[in-house]
Protein backbone atom coordinates (compact mmCIF):
# COMPACT_ATOMS: atom_id res chain seq x y z
CA UNK A 1 0.00 0.00 0.00
CA UNK A 2 1.06 3.61 -0.46
CA UNK A 3 2.55 5.29 2.59
CA UNK A 4 4.24 8.53 3.63
CA UNK A 5 6.12 8.85 6.92
CA UNK A 6 7.70 11.84 8.59
CA UNK A 7 10.46 11.07 11.05
CA UNK A 8 8.62 11.89 14.20
CA UNK A 9 5.37 13.38 15.33
CA UNK A 10 7.23 15.98 17.41
CA UNK A 11 10.79 17.30 17.46
CA UNK A 12 12.33 19.63 20.06
CA UNK A 13 15.59 21.45 19.36
CA UNK A 14 17.56 24.27 20.92
CA UNK A 15 17.56 27.72 19.35
CA UNK A 16 20.46 28.22 16.95
CA UNK A 17 20.76 24.53 16.06
CA UNK A 18 19.85 22.94 12.74
CA UNK A 19 16.53 21.12 12.59
CA UNK A 20 16.40 18.15 10.23
CA UNK A 21 13.03 16.70 9.27
CA UNK A 22 12.62 13.53 7.23
CA UNK A 23 9.95 12.48 4.76
CA UNK A 24 9.94 8.89 3.53
CA UNK A 25 7.49 7.37 1.10
CA UNK A 26 6.74 4.01 -0.48
CA UNK A 27 4.88 3.05 -3.66
CA UNK A 28 4.58 6.63 -4.94
CA UNK A 29 6.31 8.21 -7.94
CA UNK A 30 6.02 11.93 -7.28
CA UNK A 31 6.80 14.50 -9.94
CA UNK A 32 7.53 16.95 -7.13
CA UNK A 33 7.94 17.01 -3.43
CA UNK A 34 6.82 20.08 -1.55
CA UNK A 35 7.26 21.27 2.02
CA UNK A 36 4.68 23.36 3.85
CA UNK A 37 4.48 24.98 7.25
CA UNK A 38 1.23 25.01 9.19
CA UNK A 39 0.51 27.02 12.33
CA UNK A 40 -2.42 26.04 14.60
CA UNK A 41 -5.82 26.98 13.17
CA UNK A 42 -4.36 28.24 9.89
CA UNK A 43 -3.92 26.91 6.38
CA UNK A 44 -0.55 25.49 5.29
CA UNK A 45 2.01 27.90 3.82
CA UNK A 46 4.25 26.79 0.97
CA UNK A 47 7.99 26.76 1.68
CA UNK A 48 9.91 24.85 -0.99
CA UNK A 49 9.31 22.63 -4.01
CA UNK A 50 11.85 20.18 -5.43
CA UNK A 51 11.43 18.29 -8.68
CA UNK A 52 12.17 14.61 -9.25
CA UNK A 53 15.34 15.44 -11.22
CA UNK A 54 16.74 17.87 -8.63
CA UNK A 55 18.94 16.86 -5.71
CA UNK A 56 18.84 19.98 -3.55
CA UNK A 57 17.07 23.34 -3.20
CA UNK A 58 17.80 26.23 -0.87
CA UNK A 59 15.90 29.27 0.27
CA UNK A 60 17.42 31.49 2.94
CA UNK A 61 17.80 29.26 6.05
CA UNK A 62 15.91 26.38 4.46
CA UNK A 63 17.35 23.49 2.49
CA UNK A 64 15.59 20.48 1.03
CA UNK A 65 17.08 17.37 -0.57
CA UNK A 66 15.29 14.73 -2.63
CA UNK A 67 16.57 11.21 -3.22
CA UNK A 68 14.18 9.28 -5.48
CA UNK A 69 16.27 6.11 -5.08
CA UNK A 70 15.92 6.16 -1.30
CA UNK A 71 12.40 7.61 -1.64
CA UNK A 72 13.33 10.24 0.91
CA UNK A 73 13.43 14.00 1.35
CA UNK A 74 15.30 15.84 4.09
CA UNK A 75 14.27 19.34 5.16
CA UNK A 76 16.76 21.45 7.10
CA UNK A 77 16.27 24.69 8.99
CA UNK A 78 19.60 26.22 9.95
CA UNK A 79 20.09 28.68 12.83
CA UNK A 80 16.64 27.79 14.08
CA UNK A 81 14.55 30.36 15.95
CA UNK A 82 11.54 30.02 18.26
CA UNK A 83 9.46 31.58 15.45
CA UNK A 84 10.21 28.46 13.39
CA UNK A 85 8.05 26.42 15.78
CA UNK A 86 5.18 24.96 13.73
CA UNK A 87 4.05 21.75 12.06
CA UNK A 88 5.97 20.95 8.88
CA UNK A 89 4.28 18.86 6.23
CA UNK A 90 5.84 17.18 3.24
CA UNK A 91 3.56 16.70 0.24
CA UNK A 92 3.90 14.44 -2.79
CA UNK A 93 2.59 15.76 -6.07
CA UNK A 94 2.11 13.17 -8.79
CA UNK A 95 1.26 15.87 -11.34
CA UNK A 96 -1.72 16.72 -13.51
CA UNK A 97 -4.76 14.54 -12.97
CA UNK A 98 -2.97 12.67 -10.26
CA UNK A 99 -3.04 12.61 -6.51
CA UNK A 100 -1.54 15.19 -4.15
CA UNK A 101 -0.87 13.71 -0.72
CA UNK A 102 0.38 15.26 2.51
CA UNK A 103 2.52 13.40 5.00
CA UNK A 104 1.40 13.24 8.64
CA UNK A 105 3.58 16.22 9.65
CA UNK A 106 6.25 16.87 12.25
CA UNK A 107 5.53 19.36 15.04
CA UNK A 108 8.76 21.29 15.56
CA UNK A 109 9.42 23.20 18.77
CA UNK A 110 12.47 25.47 18.92
CA UNK A 111 13.34 26.14 22.54
CA UNK A 112 14.96 29.47 23.54
CA UNK B 1 -3.45 40.18 -4.31
CA UNK B 2 -1.89 36.88 -3.13
CA UNK B 3 -4.73 35.81 -0.91
CA UNK B 4 -7.23 32.98 -0.93
CA UNK B 5 -10.37 33.93 0.99
CA UNK B 6 -12.90 31.53 2.45
CA UNK B 7 -16.34 32.18 3.87
CA UNK B 8 -17.72 31.58 6.37
CA UNK B 9 -14.95 31.20 8.96
CA UNK B 10 -17.16 29.02 11.14
CA UNK B 11 -20.30 27.04 10.31
CA UNK B 12 -22.56 24.97 12.53
CA UNK B 13 -25.20 22.91 10.78
CA UNK B 14 -27.64 20.14 11.49
CA UNK B 15 -27.66 16.85 9.62
CA UNK B 16 -30.66 17.90 7.52
CA UNK B 17 -29.36 21.33 6.52
CA UNK B 18 -28.03 22.45 3.17
CA UNK B 19 -25.15 24.93 3.26
CA UNK B 20 -22.32 26.08 1.02
CA UNK B 21 -18.69 26.97 1.59
CA UNK B 22 -17.14 29.60 -0.66
CA UNK B 23 -13.59 30.19 -1.79
CA UNK B 24 -12.20 33.00 -3.92
CA UNK B 25 -8.83 33.93 -5.38
CA UNK B 26 -7.76 36.73 -7.69
CA UNK B 27 -4.25 35.55 -8.54
CA UNK B 28 -5.23 34.21 -11.97
CA UNK B 29 -4.69 30.64 -10.80
CA UNK B 30 -6.32 27.96 -12.93
CA UNK B 31 -6.24 25.10 -10.41
CA UNK B 32 -8.32 25.08 -7.23
CA UNK B 33 -8.58 22.48 -4.50
CA UNK B 34 -10.76 21.43 -1.57
CA UNK B 35 -9.18 19.68 1.41
CA UNK B 36 -10.61 18.29 4.65
CA UNK B 37 -8.48 18.42 7.79
CA UNK B 38 -9.28 16.71 11.08
CA UNK B 39 -7.53 17.70 14.31
CA UNK B 40 -3.86 16.67 14.48
CA UNK B 41 -4.05 15.15 10.99
CA UNK B 42 -2.75 16.41 7.64
CA UNK B 43 -5.07 17.90 5.02
CA UNK B 44 -6.77 15.27 2.84
CA UNK B 45 -7.44 16.12 -0.77
CA UNK B 46 -11.12 15.99 -1.74
CA UNK B 47 -11.46 17.66 -5.15
CA UNK B 48 -9.30 19.38 -7.75
CA UNK B 49 -10.53 21.71 -10.47
CA UNK B 50 -8.22 22.49 -13.35
CA UNK B 51 -9.36 25.15 -15.83
CA UNK B 52 -12.82 25.03 -14.24
CA UNK B 53 -13.16 21.29 -14.90
CA UNK B 54 -13.24 18.68 -12.16
CA UNK B 55 -10.03 16.69 -12.60
CA UNK B 56 -9.86 14.78 -9.32
CA UNK B 57 -12.57 13.47 -7.01
CA UNK B 58 -10.96 11.47 -4.24
CA UNK B 59 -13.92 9.14 -3.66
CA UNK B 60 -15.73 11.79 -1.66
CA UNK B 61 -19.32 10.99 -0.57
CA UNK B 62 -22.02 12.60 -2.70
CA UNK B 63 -23.20 14.68 0.25
CA UNK B 64 -20.27 16.94 -0.72
CA UNK B 65 -20.80 18.59 -4.09
CA UNK B 66 -18.16 20.91 -5.55
CA UNK B 67 -18.79 23.66 -8.06
CA UNK B 68 -16.45 25.97 -9.94
CA UNK B 69 -18.60 28.77 -11.47
CA UNK B 70 -15.58 30.61 -12.88
CA UNK B 71 -11.80 30.66 -12.61
CA UNK B 72 -11.85 32.74 -9.40
CA UNK B 73 -14.55 30.98 -7.42
CA UNK B 74 -14.94 27.55 -5.87
CA UNK B 75 -17.92 26.37 -3.88
CA UNK B 76 -18.52 23.28 -1.79
CA UNK B 77 -22.20 22.44 -1.35
CA UNK B 78 -23.06 20.44 1.75
CA UNK B 79 -26.18 18.36 2.26
CA UNK B 80 -27.19 15.73 4.81
CA UNK B 81 -23.80 15.71 6.49
CA UNK B 82 -22.83 13.44 9.36
CA UNK B 83 -21.18 14.45 12.66
CA UNK B 84 -17.94 12.78 11.49
CA UNK B 85 -17.79 15.36 8.68
CA UNK B 86 -16.96 18.02 11.27
CA UNK B 87 -13.51 19.33 10.34
CA UNK B 88 -11.55 22.28 8.97
CA UNK B 89 -12.25 22.64 5.25
CA UNK B 90 -9.41 24.25 3.36
CA UNK B 91 -9.43 25.73 -0.09
CA UNK B 92 -6.23 26.19 -2.08
CA UNK B 93 -5.20 27.39 -5.52
CA UNK B 94 -2.14 27.01 -7.72
CA UNK B 95 -1.18 28.52 -11.02
CA UNK B 96 -1.53 25.25 -12.90
CA UNK B 97 -1.52 21.48 -12.44
CA UNK B 98 0.88 20.71 -15.28
CA UNK B 99 3.54 18.06 -14.62
CA UNK B 100 6.44 20.14 -15.91
CA UNK B 101 5.25 23.43 -14.51
CA UNK B 102 7.34 25.44 -12.12
CA UNK B 103 4.21 26.91 -10.58
CA UNK B 104 2.61 24.10 -8.64
CA UNK B 105 2.93 25.62 -5.19
CA UNK B 106 -0.43 25.87 -3.52
CA UNK B 107 -1.79 28.92 -1.74
CA UNK B 108 -4.17 28.01 1.05
CA UNK B 109 -7.04 29.95 2.54
CA UNK B 110 -7.61 30.16 6.31
CA UNK B 111 -10.29 27.46 6.21
CA UNK B 112 -13.88 27.06 7.34
CA UNK B 113 -14.35 25.32 10.69
CA UNK B 114 -17.43 23.12 10.19
CA UNK B 115 -19.39 21.52 13.02
CA UNK B 116 -22.18 19.08 12.21
CA UNK B 117 -24.61 18.47 15.05
* Cβ pair B109:A100 closer than 8 A: no
Question: What average pLDDT score do residues A45-62 get?
Answer: 93
Give yes or no for residue B103 having a pLDDT over 90: no
Cα–Cα dist B81/A36, whole Å: 30
Of the listed ranges A25-29, A59-63, A74-78, the least confidently predicted one is A25-29
What percent of chain A is predicted at pLDDT more than 90? 72
Which of B55, B58, B106 lies nearest to residue A97, judging by beta carbons? B55
Total residue length of chain A: 112
What percent of chain A is predicted at pLDDT more than 70? 95
Nearest-Cα residue of chain A relative to residue B49 = A97
* Cβ pair A97:B105 closer than 8 A: no
Chain B positions touching A96 (Cβ under 8 A) are: 50, 55, 97-99
Q: Collapsing DSSP states into helix, strand and coil, what is residue A55?
A: coil
Best to test chain B binding among A92, A96, A98 (most B CBs inside 10 Å): A96
Model confidence pLDDT, tens digit, residues B21-41: 999 999 999 889 999 999 999
| Sequence-ordered strand ranges (E) for A7-111 | 10-14, 19-26, 32-38, 45-51, 56-59, 62-67, 72-77, 86-93, 100-102, 106-111
Cα–Cα dist A25/A28, whole Å: 7
Which of A44, A49, A100 lies nearest to residue B45, judging by beta carbons? A100
Note the pLDDT of residue A95: 64
Chain B positions touching A93 (Cβ under 8 A) are: 104
What percent of chain B is predicted at pLDDT more than 70? 92
Nearest-Cα residue of chain B relative to residue A6 = B42
Q: Which residues of A touch B (CB under 8 A)?
A: 31-32, 34, 36, 41-46, 49, 89, 93, 95-105
Model confidence pLDDT, tens digit, residues A72-85: 999 999 999 999 99
Amino acid sequence: SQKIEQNSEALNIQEGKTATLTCNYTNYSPAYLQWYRQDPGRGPVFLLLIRENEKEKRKERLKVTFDTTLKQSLFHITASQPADSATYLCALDMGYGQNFVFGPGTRLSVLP
Amino acid sequence: DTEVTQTPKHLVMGMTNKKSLKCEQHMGHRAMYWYKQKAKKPPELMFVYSYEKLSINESVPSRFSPECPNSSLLNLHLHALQPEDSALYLCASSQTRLRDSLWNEQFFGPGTRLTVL
